[in-house]
Structure 1
């Protein structure tokens, strides 16, 4: 399981980098424009992802979870958010690289920010949610970029696997 989640941590960082690079082609008005997404704009959606990643990384490390609303815009511009995103992705990759299969199979107890309910589940299941959540909202941004007239980058896992040499031979 460890190699599986290391791959997803790498994929997550790669996909975030590609998506943020595409977003940087937008002017600020288009980047922050209300587009009817769950978090309103591209800016709102990308802020949501970094907020939730900070929450999850604190949970994974056994630290105090930051007290922040899930729709908080903790960064006001893409450049600052992009730098923080790179830092968060590196921290998550480092954390995942240090996990053992035994830790992944063990329990993680956490409290949902949305409703305060307590959840206990295997660590691997929580990581699966974290990476799936990222993919879900990146897909929203991908569609919003298309609406804004930007050709979104391919974020397909096999493209990452080929680029990184994971499981591909030709």
Structure 2
């Protein structure tokens, strides 16, 4: 895996977060906060999980070599607008991080503590890939629930971002 691939994934992560943000505007509070059978129950719970996992656990592990010990279902933000805004704003951090990352780390291990405080060591590049894949997974859960509830959903496949970028050329 190379830097260009991670830059693509970081840009995609921001793009997909922005598209999802626009789709969530029309969702009622009842639908946003109600248990929809997701692993983290609701759209709200799943978005909080994304904020915790991606930005309070994984980002600091990569950027600062340490992170907080937080449960994966920790509620960081109770205001839905601020929650979505934080996800979008913090997605930009990955883009900035990759502009200064030492690519020599890609061939090493990432040493960190899990959300429960257990010491862990995993391949750096593959674990970074996990972060972006994880976000895609949970956005997919949310869009599936939105579709089932009858809301319009954006097309979040990576190919649509590439098509948008190509149309701007």
TM-score (norm 1): 0.90
Q: Is the 8 A contact 1:39 1:45 kept in 2?
A: yes
Task: Confirm whether residue 6 of structure 1 aligns to residue 7 of structure 2.
Answer: yes
Asked if the contact 2:65/2:112 (under 8 Å) is kept, the reply is no
Q: Aligned partners of 2:36 and 2:127: how far apart in 1? A: 30
| Aligned partner of 1:113 among 90, 112, 115 | 115
Detail structure 1 runs of 4+ shifted over 2 Å in the superposition: 116-119
Match of 1:151 in 2: 152
Indicate the residue corresponding to 1:96 in structure 2.
Answer: 98
Please give the secondary structure, in 2, of the residue aligned with 1:110. Answer: strand
Q: TM-score, normalised by structure 2?
A: 0.90
Alignment deviations for residues 80-118 of structure 1 (CA, whole Å, 9 cap, x no partner) = 01221122101121112222432222221112215x433
- Ranges in structure 2 where 5+ consecutive residues have no aligned partner: none
Tell me what 1:65 maps to: 67
Structure 1 residue 146, shift from structure 2 partner: 1.0
Aligned length: 167
What is the root-mean-square deviation of aligned Cα atoms in Å? 2.0
CA distance in 1, matches of 2:42, 2:93: 26
CA drift of 1:63 comes to 4.5
Structure 1 residue 65 displacement after superposition: 1.2
Query: Which ranges in structure 1 are unaligned for 5 or more consecutive residues?
Result: none
